[in-house]
Amino acid sequence: MDLRKISRDSAQTLANYLTYQAVRVVLDQLTETNPPQSLWLRDFSAQISFQQGSEDYLQHLMQANQELAFRIMTVRDHLATNIPEFLPEMVRSQVQEANLQQRKVFFERLTQTPLGPEVIHPEVHLPLDLRSLPPDRAADSAA
């Protein structure tokens, strides 16, 4: 597991995402101030998607309407500058909360299913690698 590469890729993903958010911000502004241009940008964004990356999108936009491209770049710079320093902490909390929810749903489903004698009782917290052993061997290992 290459943590440095995953961090770099995460930063790139977030930069792409902020570009997408910048397009949304500009779209919202145009809806108020210049509805025809808002429609034009919507159409453009439906044709040139973000699938090939936000830089590709911006390069196409630069050729079609340089003013809007520069405006989106300015907004994404503003968003990136104002990302809270505690974003990593927010992500940690979200993942831990999501893991807790997944476990909760899993155990709730277990307790709602009629248990046969071959099903391990959900309150027994065996290490993960023991779960896949047949009950006899699991009991041996636990002893």
Write out the residues near its own copies by the rule CB under 8 A.
Answer: 1, 3, 6-15, 17-19, 21, 25, 28, 54-55, 58-59, 62, 66-67, 69-71, 73-85, 87-88, 90-92, 94-96, 98-99, 101-103, 105-106, 128, 131-132
For 70, other C-beta atoms within 10 Å of its C-beta total: 13
C-alpha dist (Å) from residue 139 to 72, 85, 136: 61, 48, 5
Q: Supply angle C-alpha 64, 67, 69, rounded to 5.
A: 65
In the complex with its own copies, the residue whose CB is nearer, 47 or 132, is 132
Question: Residue 44 Cβ, how far from its own copies at the closest point, in Å?
Answer: 16
Question: Residue 136 Cβ, how far from its own copies at the closest point, in Å?
Answer: 18
Question: Residue 47 Cβ, how far from its own copies at the closest point, in Å?
Answer: 19
CA atoms of 127 and 95, how far apart (whole Å): 21
Question: Residue 24 Cβ, how far from its own copies at the closest point, in Å?
Answer: 9
CA atoms of 91 and 94, how far apart (whole Å): 5
